[in-house]
Amino acid sequence: MAERINIAVIGAGVIGKRHIDEIAHNDACRLAAIADPSPEAAAYAEALNVPYYRDYREALASGDVHAVIVCTPNHTHLEVGLACVARKLPLLMEKPIADDLDAARTLAAAAATAGIAMLVGHHRRHNPAVRAVKDAIDGGRIGKLVLANIMCLMVKPDAYFEVPWRRQPGGGPVLINLIHEIDLLRHLCGEIVSVQAVTSNEVRRHEVEDSAACTLTLASGALANVSLSDTTSAPWNWDTTAGEDRALFDYRPVPTHFFAGTDGALTLPDLALWSYRGKKGRDQPIHDTHLSCVAENVYAAQLRHFLDVVKGDARPMIDGHDAARTLAATLAVVEAARTSRPATPSLV
Ligand SMILES: NC(=O)c1ccc[n+]([C@@H]2O[C@H](COP(=O)([O-])OP(=O)(O)OC[C@H]3O[C@@H](n4cnc5c(N)ncnc54)[C@H](O)[C@@H]3O)[C@@H](O)[C@H]2O)c1
């Protein structure tokens, strides 16, 4: 392999441009191609002086590509992912791995069978604050986890809904936003075994939900509540509180994710750790301290990990199988809300 890893970005929309920006700032790789049929993408590639392809298959066949970042709409992930696997090109597939579970299983199996590394872009796992909380929970700092409480409460501007699919089933906050919370919960707290959920479209009155209340049971026996809405004027959502993309979102570092255990409690993203120094009890003083961590650009960290994966120096932190399980648990929320009954995430 050449000294620099040549990366093709397929789909140069919102997140594709973010990846392209990170590639430009990493000396270990270079942008070898942009593939995207839109005229905006053609003009963007020309401005960057980067080889441009309308058809992504021509970029994959160019012979000048070592790895691929796929940032196309969800319904294309299976087709584009399979084409990368067929060309034996390792890939970073944006989340969700696919738009349904059969497609997710097919893609995960194809990559595994061919021995092609696929990292799925659940980027929060690369956040140092998430790493610090994972270490603390795994290290027993809060004892046995009893309950997690997660808020994903925001307001999306009216212009967001001008695109028809965002007003229709599948285009709402469950499949767009909750999937990030589900992945984070699985990563920090373990598998989800049962899901109860209620959704509502009370405010926007679109066909798709605008809000949801979910109660999840984890394999450890712990419970989790997730409150979700894209119609609330609140700061309590990861994009606003974690500061991962301050060009796109306002930044207010208040806690949104609460993890309570028998011996202590933790919050994200502010990394507060609460515990008793002596006797436990609500009549006793409870103290807070903060876990330490060095903040870093999470998309840059994800790219560095992907380059290690491409070189064969690391296994994907989230592979196709893992990402399919996150999708299965998210789809179980849809099912539970539809049937008003508890749902079990499908086996992957
Ligand atoms: N990790 C994250 O936080 C995050 C954030 C945003 C989006 N995403 C994911 O990234 C993907 C893209 O989302 P987006 O918001 O950037 O969408 P977008 O609509 O802004 O961009 C998608 C781009 O893909 C192009 N495209 C469509 N079909 C194509 C094809 N067959 N070949 C090549 N290009 C094609 C479009 O022309 C467009 O430029 C989605 O899967 C989304 O879920 C992830």
The enclosing domain of 47 has a CATH number of 3.40.50.720
Q: Looking at the structure, do residues 143 and 61 belong to the same domain, yes or no?
A: no
| 195 and 278 inside one domain | yes
**DSSP letter for each residue of 229-268:** ESB---S-SHHHHS-S-TTTS-------EEEEESS-EEEE
Q: How far is the CA of 73 from the centre of ligand 1 (A)?
A: 4
Cα(16) to centroid of ligand 1, in Å? 7
Per residue in 192-237, pLDDT (tens digit) is: 999 999 999 999 999 999 999 999 999 999 999 999 999 999 999 9
Instruction: Supply the residue whose CA is at minimum distance from atom 15 of ligand 1.
Output: 14
Q: 161 and 111 in one domain? A: no
Are 146 and 264 in contact by the 8 Å Cβ rule? The answer is: no
Q: Are residues 313 and 240 in the same domain?
A: no
Please write the tens of the pLDDT for every residue from 137-193.
999 999 999 999 999 999 999 999 998 888 988 889 999 999 999 999 999 999 999
**pLDDT reported for residue 253:** 95
- Report yes or no on 348 lying in a domain: no
**226 in a domain, yes or no?**
yes
Q: What is the pLDDT of residue 34?
A: 98
Could you identify the atom of ligand 1 that is nearest to the CA of residue 176? 43
Nearest to 77 by CA among 330, 323, 299: 323
Nearest CA to ligand 1 atom 38: 13
- Does one domain contain both 104 and 141? no
The pLDDT value given to residue 285: 98
Residue 193 domain-assigned? yes
Q: Is residue 346 part of a domain?
A: no
Residues 258 and 309 reside in one and the same domain: no
Give 272-288 pLDDT, tens digit per residue.
999 999 999 999 999 99
Residues 305 and 335 in one domain: no
Residues 166 and 277 in one domain: yes
User: pLDDT confidence of 129, banded at 50, 70, 90?
Assistant: very high
The answer to whether residue 345 sits within a structural domain is no
Is residue 284 included in any domain, yes or no? yes
Q: Is residue 344 part of a domain?
A: no
The pLDDT assigned to 165 comes to 82
Give the CATH number for residue 162. Answer: 3.30.360.10
335 in the same domain as 290: yes
Could you tell me the CA-to-CA distances from 305 to 186, 189, 244, 286 in Å, in that order?
A: 20, 22, 17, 38
CA 21, 24, 27, 33 torsion-angle sign: positive
Residue 275's alpha-carbon distances to 260, 287, 302, in angstroms, are 10, 6, 32
Q: Domain check: are 148 and 204 in the same one?
A: yes
Structural domain of residue 198, as residue ranges? 125-296+328-339
Is 347 domain-assigned?
no
Q: What angle do CA 261, 264, 267 make, to 5 degrees?
A: 85
The answer to whether residue 2 scores a pLDDT higher than 70 is no
Count how many domains the chain has: 2
Nearest CA to ligand 1 atom 32: 36
| Confidence (pLDDT) at 54 | 98
Do 44 and 101 fall within a single domain? Answer: yes
Residues 217 and 69 in one domain: no
Q: What share of the chain is helix, strand, coil (3-state, %, to 5)?
A: 40, 20, 40
pLDDT value, residue 211: 97
Q: If you measure from the C-alpha of residue 74 to the centroid of ligand 1, how many angstroms do you get, rounded to a whole number?
A: 7
Q: Is 76 helix (H, G, I), strand (E, B) or coil?
A: helix
